[in-house]
Amino acid sequence: MIFEDEPVPGYPLPILPGHTSPGRFERVLRAGQFAVTAELAPPDSADPDEVYRRARIFDGHVDAINATDGSGANCHMSSLAVCALLTRVGYAPVMQISCRDKNRIAIQGDILGGAAMGVCNMLCLTGDGVQAGDHPQALPVFDLDSISLLQTARTLRDQQHFLSGRKLSFAPRVLLGAAANPFAPPLEFRAQRLAKKVAAGAQFIQTQFCYDVPLLRAWLDQLEALDLLDRVFVLVGVGPLRSAKAAEWIRGHVPGVHIPDAVIRRLAGASDQAQEGRRLCIELVQEIRTLRGVHGVHLMAYRQEESVAEIIERSGVLQGRIPWHPGRDQPTNQTKVAS
């Protein structure tokens, strides 16, 4: 797939027919490429260089970078600020928006502000409760939830007015996403929940960690029965496990993460458990790549971000494609290839 020369960072590509954003991430998805996204942990800092250092780890391996929004109800640099910094140099960020901390007035302002700074992708989340994080005394808002947030963002984009009815002079041109967890009970409810998110405006989905491919297959079968597989881009969450002990801790303390006993036994029996965790992740990516209805993977490697390049390279899922990153095409600045 050939794209025109990249614009100056911060200046958007033209919106192609059938697209809702000018972003590269949407172009990759709609071109039928297997997409890779990764999660950037925002720093506990006001130093922009910390954001750029964390982003550079992913250069040449991911199509978009998620900036988390107070994940786990813990305080860090804001998702909006991280995305603003990333767009300055041309990265394709996914701005996560949590309903926990802001009401609909602030959220609508952030959607417009993010879009104005070149953010083309937004992930709509309800958010973790404040009791889970480092400020349990904070007052939660939850004026909206993930579904009403999707409806709000779609209203701004497609109907070009605020929820109050007041008109916008220029609508945000964004690709809208949501989260899904195929692995948490009640399993029969999960596909129906996703159907509601798609109806509300979700165009892409990033799932919770997948360590159980049979459960993933069952969920995809449910999506097919609901005629959803051709209506939403599904990116399956994956990530390396550092050790059997870490896997047991995640299973017991991170809500919604399902890790089968067989995975923990495999890690426990390895001489180098971290290496085995990366090997397992690579195998999962390769198997997930073959499933109908899957359009990519979302790599979450908290405090193991340096492993993302190895996992993507060894899995071979990009099939020689090099996602765009700052400086990729220097010094020739010729016609750009594939994303």
How high is the pLDDT of residue 337?
A: 42
Report which secondary-structure segment, H or E, holds 270. Answer: none
Candidates 3.20.20.220, 3.40.50.300, 1.10.8.60, 3.40.50.2300; CATH matching 2-240+294-337: 3.20.20.220
How high is the pLDDT of residue 166?
A: 98
> Within 10 A of 185 (CB to CB), how many other CB atoms are there?
10
Residue 9 phi, psi dihedral angles, 5° rounding: -50, 135
Report which secondary-structure segment, H or E, holds 138. Answer: none
Q: Where are the domains of the chain?
A: 2-240+294-337
CA distances from 201 to 23, 148, 186, 334, 335 (A): 17, 10, 23, 36, 34
How far apart (Å, rounded) are the C-alpha atoms in residues 55 and 41? 9
How high is the pLDDT of residue 73?
A: 74
How far apart (Å, rounded) are the C-alpha atoms in residues 97 and 122? 7
CA dihedral over 58, 61, 67, 73, signed as positive or negative: negative
Write the pLDDT tens digit of every residue in 128-163: 878 877 899 899 999 999 999 999 999 999 999 999
How high is the pLDDT of residue 331?
A: 64
Q: Residue for token digits 């390895």? A: 270
How far apart (Å, rounded) are the C-alpha atoms in residues 293 and 29? 12
What's the predicted TM-score (pTM) here?
A: 0.93
- Give me 115's structure tokens: 């879009």
Identify the segments of the chain with pLDDT beneath 50. Answer: 1-2, 4, 333-339
3-state class (DSSP) for residue 2: strand
